[in-house]
Structure 1
Amino acid sequence: MSARRIDGKAFAAGLRERVGTIAADFAGKAGRKAGLAVVLVGDDPASQVYVRSKGKATVAANMNSFEHRLPTDATQEQLEGLVDTLNANPEVDGILVQLPLPAHLNEQAVVDRIAPAKDVDGLTPVSTGRLALGLDGLVPCTPLGSLMLLKDIHGDLSGMNAVVIGRSILVGKPMAQLLLAESCTVTIAHSRTKNLPELLRGADIVVAAVGRPEMVRADWLKPGATVIDVGINRLPPEPGAEKGKLVGDVAYGEASEVAGAITPVPGGVGPMTIAVLLRNTLVAAHRNENIALTDTTL
């Protein structure tokens, strides 16, 4: 068996195109563009790249991008004050504070400060609570993007056995909640789970988000299983190379000989994250202006 390669890059491109079309329609109805504000504290190179790419993608999708940069030594009061200002700005529909923050700042307090209606990362207590209760709300981008890929392959997920490896608030926990809402039978596993290979061999769906390079091996998988690899790990560079190879949490080469479908790393889940961020911003904009979405499947 050779697994179907799940092309997240192509799916994300289609989603971004749809978002751009609907965003243009929104601007005509609301008299303004939807707006995403991204806050970056410090000068971490990786975070700077992420913020730039998010800004470009936002503008390309017919929305306004508001970038706010604070120095590394910014105080908790300064950061929370900026979030308060963005909460009150009617031009801003979504607020994303780029994590991680410098160590002297309280991340949870900053996240808690974001207005739930503008919480496009889906991390506030209100957003996580609504997800747990099965109520409509804004959902973390990576899990929602992963669910979109799964539904694109299978359509109805009802009754499928799913194992989520990882219990983070960013991916593992919300992913499990989303799969439960699709009537899957869900098990949350993690790095300390006993007999993990045996557990995975009964799974129709495996979502790996544990942060360990190539931890999931081919003989851990049920033949024909669908594998969503959320992990992004950089291996040590080989002699003479500047950077090491990017790999996921699943040993892609061997796993693709057993799985029915699998996401590559890179090019799988990664591109979905920004696409869903744009989607969440557009959804928030429609709700903030009490305008019905023209595409109810978004």
Structure 2
Amino acid sequence: MELRQVEHALAVADTGGFTAAADEVHLTQPALSQSIAALERDLGVTLFHRLGRRVALTPAGEAFVGPARQLLRAARTARSAAGEVAEVRAGHVDVVSLRTLAVDPLVEVVGRFRAAHPGVAVRVTAQDDRSALFAQVRRGDAELGLAEVGAEVPGLAVRPVATQEVLLVAPPGTRLARSRRVPVARLGSLDLVTSPVGTSTRALLDDACAAAGVEPRVVVETAHRDTLGPLVVAGAGSALLAAPQARQAEADGAVVARLDPPLRRRVGFVHRPDALAPGAAALLPLAPSPAGEGPSPARGRG
């Protein structure tokens, strides 16, 4: 099995057809078909169902794709490490971020990196589910992930970036205590706007309510987290938002209060414990670190 054959197979899987994949890898379609056929003979399995002009992965093909991506990423890392490692003059860095962190703090980090390494591209994708994000990084779909993190994330190394306070954001005109501090237990008496179960925003709400011994009264559930602040401003209900999003909602007329006790989320980059490609290794030091914190080693393999 040759790396170019692996690249060809992934191109077919990603484009859904031999014609588009041939254009992608700059081969004629017959040459690409021969490469895939040779790979299938070597593996002893069929990777694709041929469906006219389109293809679909077989079960063996689905099992092949994840390890194949890791193989190519490891090969690129090896090539870079053998060359001008410190220069970081070309290539790209793949980052997956929770949608609520894609602006703050990711934008500033990417801006610093691009200023320092203008020849390197940064490809950012968004994810709503934290577990899915961790899985993407473990599989090698992205080199770096930006998410809410604990002290440890099984199988991944953690690089803390920031600790953000989570605030209560209420509709315009809501009357709160003069201290603008609201007991967490009061969340059980509010109409709440939040994201679906399984998202990090919903987990913050559910965990806070469980700790206070109350049930959240969810009146609007939306997968579009960018709409949480506007929904509050429109009077649909109250929400828990990290400070950067809460301040934007406040500027639009919402009433913002701190929770008692304060609710905070810890934000950090995660990556596989293997050696990072040079671009990713150069990006991490450009991210801020919370006072007194630094990178933590990977723990476990789960």
TM-score range, shorter chain: under 0.3
Which structure has greater strand proportion? 2
